[in-house]
Structure 1
């Protein structure tokens, strides 16, 4: 399981926009199990979307998460991110 250092996260500077910050926070929520079950596929999806929208921190956490995921889970996360991006 990936470990995330939440002490060094400054939500106001994660991505530069409120939308990106929300997407980043969704990744944190699923990565840490805050108010939900831990779901690395969902965490990767949200970190990936936040990274695409400019969050360097999301890109870093996504890279950490990839190390713990199976190829099938990674493919699922990437597909879900693409689907979300095309519908939003």
Structure 2
């Protein structure tokens, strides 16, 4: 089931609060590559990798670290803020 909240107000709907780490990781991959109907959006990808890592995805931890090296510190901070907001609405 998909939640009404969307990443950055654009693109694909976020998964429900019950989404697994693997589901969140796959969605993060779409945003990190701009595929599957998702815009290329590193902030949203980082947010999704962060949430996936919190749900046990080892791959998400690796991708999140690599992605953060390509992002400005304010972008990483925004991704973390969005992750907290998503958790609060879950």
TM-score by length of 2: 0.75
Which secondary structure does the structure 2 equivalent of 1:61 belong to? helix
Q: CA RMSD in A?
A: 1.5
TM-score by length of 1: 0.77
Bigger relative CO (Cα 8 Å, ≥ 6 apart): 1
* Residues 9-48 of structure 1: per-residue CA shift (max 9 Å, x gap): xxxxxxxxx6221101110010010122210000000000
Distance 2:33 2:62 in 1: 15
- For residue 57 of structure 1, report the CA deviation from its aligned partner: 0.3
Distance 2:88 2:43 in 1: 18
Q: Which structure has the highest helix share of the two?
A: 1
Partner of 2:31: 30
Q: Which runs of 4+ in 1 moved over 4 A?
A: none
Distance 1:68 1:58 in 2: 15
Q: Which structure has the highest strand share of the two?
A: 2
Q: How does 1:1-88 map to 2 (within 5 A)?
A: 19-34=20-35, 35-88=37-90
Structure 1 portions without partners, runs of 5+: 1-17
